[in-house]
Structures are given as structure tokens and as C-alpha cells.
């Protein structure tokens, strides 16, 4: 980072831009990883709920077939 003499303008060097890009890429990658993990968990939860609903429907249909006293 350099400051021009006689002014308040600061210029970033190539190394500074590289560090900023590295931090941005790291943050983006972390957020993407968290999003994908969350998406997989939601998908798994939906599938488990569908399976549970199917089993419950099957149990209810069997109970409906049982003669009542």
C-alpha cells in the first residue's frame, strides 16, 4: 500500500490485491461449503420425511382393514 506524497490518495499494490482476493475467495468458498452442506441436510430430511409418511400411510391402511369389535 503506498500513499502519494502531498495527497490523501492511497494506492494498493499487486500484492495487496492478491491478499484481498485470497480472503474473498476463502470467504466465498467457506460460504459455498456451508450452503451445500445445509442443502444436503435439507434434502436428506425431505427424503426421510417422505419415507416416514409412506410408512405411516401403510400402517394406517392396515389398521383400517382390521375389523373392529
- In the numeric block, the cell 383400517 is attached to 64
**Would the pLDDT of 65 be above 90?**
no
φ and ψ of 66, to 5 deg: -70, 130
Number of independent structural domains in the chain: 1
Is residue 23 assigned to a domain?
A: no
Is residue 56 assigned to a domain?
A: yes
**Would the pLDDT of 59 be above 90?**
yes
pLDDT tens digits along 35-58 = 999 999 999 999 999 999 999 999
Distance (Å, rounded) from C-alpha 26 to C-alpha 32?
Answer: 10
Is residue 25 assigned to a domain?
A: no
In which domain, by residue range, is 43 found? 36-64
pLDDT tens digits along 7-26 = 888 888 999 999 999 999 99
b or e along 28-50 (b: 16 or more beta carbons within 10 Å of the residue's beta carbon)?
eeeeeeeeeeeeeeeeeeeeeee
Selected residue with higher pLDDT from 30 and 63: 30
- In the numeric block, the cell 405411516 is attached to 56
Is residue 48 assigned to a domain?
A: yes
Residue 32's pLDDT is 98
Is residue 12 assigned to a domain?
A: no
Is residue 46 assigned to a domain?
A: yes
Cell numbers for 59: 400402517
Amino acid at each position: 500500500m503506498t500513499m502519494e506524497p502531498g495527497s490523501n490518495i492511497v494506492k494498493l499494490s499487486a500484492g495487496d490485491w492478491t491478499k484481498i482476493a485470497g480472503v474473498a475467495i476463502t470467504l466465498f468458498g467457506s460460504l459455498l461449503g456451508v450452503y451445500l452442506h445445509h442443502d444436503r441436510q435439507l434434502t436428506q430430511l425431505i427424503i426421510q420425511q417422505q419415507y416416514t409418511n409412506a410408512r405411516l400411510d401403510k400402517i394406517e391402511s392396515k389398521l383400517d382393514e382390521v375389523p373392529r369389535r
